[in-house]
Chains A and B, each alone.
Chain A
Amino acid sequence: MPPTTCEVCKDARAAVIRPKNSQKICKRCFLEVFESEIHETIVSNNLFYRGERVAIGASGGKDSTVLASVLKTLNERHDYGLNLVLLSIDEGIKGYRDDSLETVKRNALQYEMPLEIVGYDQLYGWTMDQVVAQVGKKGNCTYCGVFRRQALDRGAAKLGIKHVVTGHNADDVAETVMMNLLRGDLPRLARATSIVTSSAASAIKRSKPLKYAYEKEIVLYAHHKKLDYFSTECIYSPEAFRGSARTLIKDLERIRPSSILDIVKSGEDMAALVPPEVGGSVSCAGEAEEEANSCGSRNTNGDSMDLVEKQLALNEAAAERETEIKVPTATAKPQVTGHPAAVSIHDKKSNGRRKGKIVKQVMGQCERCGYMSSQKVCKACSLLEGLNKSRPHTSIEVGVEDEEASTTLMREVAGIAISAG
């Protein structure tokens, strides 16, 4: 069989079948077309302005590594005039983050970009390993997500930067669309697809230049560019809704490769159809969400499908019984095992039934840390409060799962770290 020639340059030998549209093209054309598509995304959305300082949320994984590499290339080729910085979060997960941070450190040298690392332990007094020891493997992703979102903002603020770009790709966006549909979260459905998320209250803008890029093409790009990235996934458990949506997306992609972009488009259109009183609420910067990604975006949310299922069943049962006297919160208290702070981030909404009215978020400041929040105390502080409460009581420990013998010592050490800070 004669070798296939590239469908683009009609010259070189085709080496890549584009996952996006099955086009057979050569390596050089692939790299070029991949870069130029991202360039188009950047230009048509006016993502940057000349002289802007931009922090790249870098985890060392394929997405953020490709993002950093492509942005460097495009910045030089098209003279964007950007000042690029790598910003990494150290969640404190041994055997995962410490290794991937080494990759980011090498990237910083390879791309000649300054690197800033912000650690959970400095910011919150807790590493994720300690949190997991405390709350167990279930639901710890809520903590990680809430913490990361703030940590990125704080890291950017520390650098005096107002724009953070993240490596979310088309697959992540499609997954989020399906996930929010499955768990009935219309406000998030409304904002998950937008390429720029900036809330009125937040000084820091976020964008995802890889929004239309296929995960498979990102892998191919990294491979052909011989990029140095870290491919192990987070060692803590993935989240059920994400998992379910992810499997579905992969199956759909197998049936029709364009599905991923088709879902992104569906998400964009549906976002436009979300009534303003639902979707208009300011994106809450204190929440763990689709934004918070560096563990492959799988692990961002703590509410398991079982829990939501249970709540829905209770809500329905309550609705059936409902007479004229309406008791707002009596029935549907979710049954959360373990620590009270492990309640899903949806607890506000799903305790009892929400009546017709939608409460609009009003942004203020957390009275403890000053971070913007729609509540008196921001999500991170309230999660921390739950964690810290149990610290002095290490000897009591009722109902805490997955406890390890070493935790007590770890907590004591961390306790010292806090009082010292």
Chain B
Amino acid sequence: MDDPATTDLCVDCRERDASLSIRNRRLCSACFMRYVTSKVLKRMESFRFKTLSGDDRRRLLLPVSGGVSSLVLLHVLDAQLQRQIASRNRTAYDLVVLRVVLPEDEGSTTLKGDYEELARKFSAHRILPLLDLQAVFKLDTHIERDFEHLGLRRHGSESDESFLNRMLSCATSVTARADLQSILLQRLIVSAARQHGCESVVWGHSDSRLAALVLADVAKGRGGSVPSTIADGPSLHGINSNYPMRDLFKTELQSYAQLVPDPLLAKVADSGETTAPPTAMRHTSIDTLLRTYIHSQGEKYPGIMANVVRTASKLDGRQASTITATCPVCIRLIVRSQGLLNPDGNLCYGCDRMRNDIKS
């Protein structure tokens, strides 16, 4: 009966029929879901009961983007916390959930409703109200001083919103704009974590997303900050960063979202990477190009794309000899290696490069 040609049993449980091919292994959906959960929880081991001392309450900020990865992360962690409640009547950590509304989300008719739905479903956790990107000027007390290095200053009594819009419109290239916005977003999320007493931000980045970030960093001259982009643990912001989804591919998270009987996840499962047809190159940002690259190459060579993050994480951000200071804009280490390309001034190369594309 065990004729491999005719039977398609799940290689893990050897009971149910396999329905998915995951990294060259045939799995049934139950074993696949367990696989995803275990990959995430393995990365969450530093937040177990064991590591708690005394009556500590540990808080983690989970920023959701409306995409599939962060929602799957919320889903997996929610299930973990529910199990902890059931067995011990307490949890090893509390989740604080945040959603930032980006300029491109404005006019979205579904965002608010979706977030309310999420808040109802995950009401066991602290769901913060929607936060606009310009809130960064209130929560991050240094940002205005820091951004003067880019030549960006508030005009008189300009409101936060118009300051933000003017700032973004000063970028003369799509890449610089995307760069600027992602720095603002990062600083906002970290500030919010600080405000709410969270010790760490747990990001929903999949392996694929991290790989795209690594390549984009390299392409933007930010190679020196690759370790701080993808490392788990303390960051220069003073708040820890964790990437519990780092071992999972985006496509796996999409499959997971399709399998879980949850309308919230089902909604985002398909809306994932639709890979918009290549528009004119100059309207594409470097970040978008590399996301598309990882996505398209990842279909054929998932292992190679996954290996990018593994390779990059071997870079050691603590090689003291070459590190001089922290960049005031992106809050990452500045590496001044030998070579002809070090900028003058106190910005890192990547931010200096971005400044060249900002005309205020």
Separation of A278 and B312 alpha carbons in the complex (Å): 13
* Residues of chain B within 8 A of A184, CB atoms compared: 307-308, 310-311
* Residues of chain A within 8 A of B23, CB atoms compared: 313, 316-317
B281 touches A41 (CB 8 A): no
A258 touches B307 (CB 8 A): no
B215 touches A183 (CB 8 A): no
* Residues of chain A within 8 A of B338, CB atoms compared: 194, 268, 272
Separation of A178 and B304 alpha carbons in the complex (Å): 12
The answer, yes or no, to whether B226 is at the interface (CB within 8 Å) is yes
Separation of A65 and B253 alpha carbons in the complex (Å): 52
B214 touches A181 (CB 8 A): yes
B337 touches A268 (CB 8 A): yes
B94 to chain A, nearest CB (A): 33
Q: Which of B145-203 contact A (CB under 8 A)?
A: 173-175
The answer, yes or no, to whether B306 is at the interface (CB within 8 Å) is yes
A317 touches B217 (CB 8 A): no
The answer, yes or no, to whether A351 is at the interface (CB within 8 Å) is no
Interface residues on A, range: 35 or more
* Residues of chain B within 8 A of A186, CB atoms compared: 311, 314-315
A273 touches B218 (CB 8 A): no
The answer, yes or no, to whether A409 is at the interface (CB within 8 Å) is no
The answer, yes or no, to whether A47 is at the interface (CB within 8 Å) is no
Considering only CB atoms, which chain B residue lies closest to A265 in the complex?
B341
Considering only CB atoms, which chain B residue lies closest to A189 in the complex?
B311
B322 touches A305 (CB 8 A): no
Supposing A259-B219, A262-B219, A272-B319 touch, asked if A309 and B341 sit within 8 A by C-beta, the answer is no
Q: Per-residue CB proximity of A58-96 to B under 8 Å, as 1/0?
A: 000000000000000000000000000000000000000
Supposing A264-B341, A273-B322 touch, asked if A256 and B286 sit within 8 A by C-beta, the answer is yes
B340 touches A41 (CB 8 A): yes
* Residues of chain A within 8 A of B293, CB atoms compared: 248
The answer, yes or no, to whether B282 is at the interface (CB within 8 Å) is yes
The answer, yes or no, to whether A164 is at the interface (CB within 8 Å) is no
Supposing A184-B307, A317-B25 touch, asked if A244 and B297 sit within 8 A by C-beta, the answer is yes
Supposing A44-B340, A272-B319 touch, asked if A265 and B219 sit within 8 A by C-beta, the answer is no
Q: Per-residue CB proximity of B208-246 to A under 8 Å, as 1/0?
A: 000000110111111110110000000000000000000
A266 touches B224 (CB 8 A): yes
B304 contact from A261, A271, A309, Cβ within 8 A: A309
* Residues of chain A within 8 A of B317, CB atoms compared: 273
The answer, yes or no, to whether A367 is at the interface (CB within 8 Å) is no
* Residues of chain B within 8 A of A185, CB atoms compared: 311
B229 to chain A, nearest CB (A): 12
B286 touches A252 (CB 8 A): yes
A317 touches B218 (CB 8 A): no
* Residues of chain A within 8 A of B322, CB atoms compared: 269, 272-273
B304 touches A265 (CB 8 A): no
Supposing A255-B281, A256-B175, A312-B306 touch, asked if A270 and B314 sit within 8 A by C-beta, the answer is no
A317 touches B221 (CB 8 A): no
The answer, yes or no, to whether B19 is at the interface (CB within 8 Å) is no
Separation of A320 and B22 alpha carbons in the complex (Å): 13
Considering only CB atoms, which chain A residue lies closest to B227 in the complex?
A273
The answer, yes or no, to whether B335 is at the interface (CB within 8 Å) is yes
Q: Which of B305-338 contact A (CB under 8 A)?
A: 306-308, 310-312, 314-317, 319, 321-322, 335, 337-338
Supposing A270-B218, A273-B227 touch, asked if A305 and B340 sit within 8 A by C-beta, the answer is no
The answer, yes or no, to whether B349 is at the interface (CB within 8 Å) is yes
A181 contact from B224, B303, B306, B308, Cβ within 8 A: B308
B304 touches A270 (CB 8 A): no
Separation of A193 and B340 alpha carbons in the complex (Å): 12
B316 touches A273 (CB 8 A): yes
Considering only CB atoms, which chain A residue lies closest to B25 in the complex?
A317
* Residues of chain B within 8 A of A182, CB atoms compared: 304, 307-308
A312 touches B307 (CB 8 A): yes
* Residues of chain B within 8 A of A258, CB atoms compared: 221, 353, 356
B289 touches A255 (CB 8 A): yes
The answer, yes or no, to whether B108 is at the interface (CB within 8 Å) is no
A275 touches B221 (CB 8 A): no
* Residues of chain B within 8 A of A248, CB atoms compared: 293
* Residues of chain A within 8 A of B289, CB atoms compared: 251-252, 255
* Residues of chain B within 8 A of A254, CB atoms compared: 281-282
B240 to chain A, nearest CB (A): 21
The answer, yes or no, to whether B301 is at the interface (CB within 8 Å) is yes
Supposing A266-B218, A268-B337, A312-B303 touch, asked if A181 and B311 sit within 8 A by C-beta, the answer is yes
B337 contact from A244, A251, A269, A306, Cβ within 8 A: A269
A279 to chain B, nearest CB (A): 10
A145 to chain B, nearest CB (A): 21
Considering only CB atoms, which chain B residue lies closest to A40 in the complex?
B340
Supposing A184-B307, A255-B282, A273-B335 touch, asked if A262 and B353 sit within 8 A by C-beta, the answer is yes
* Residues of chain B within 8 A of A194, CB atoms compared: 338
* Residues of chain B within 8 A of A275, CB atoms compared: 314-316, 319
* Residues of chain A within 8 A of B54, CB atoms compared: none
Supposing A178-B215, A255-B175, A273-B316 touch, asked if A266 and B221 sit within 8 A by C-beta, the answer is yes
* Residues of chain B within 8 A of A252, CB atoms compared: 219, 286, 289
* Residues of chain B within 8 A of A269, CB atoms compared: 223-224, 322, 335, 337, 349
The answer, yes or no, to whether A177 is at the interface (CB within 8 Å) is yes
The answer, yes or no, to whether B346 is at the interface (CB within 8 Å) is no
Beyond A189-B311, A266-B221, A272-B224: 15 further Cβ-contacts under 8 Å?
A181-B215, A181-B218, A184-B307, A184-B311, A212-B341, A251-B289, A255-B289, A256-B173, A262-B350, A268-B338, A270-B226, A274-B316, A313-B23, A317-B24, A317-B25
A-B contact pairs, 18 of them (CB 8 A): A181-B308, A181-B311, A182-B308, A212-B340, A244-B297, A252-B289, A258-B221, A262-B220, A263-B221, A265-B339, A267-B223, A268-B223, A269-B322, A269-B335, A269-B349, A273-B315, A273-B316, A317-B24
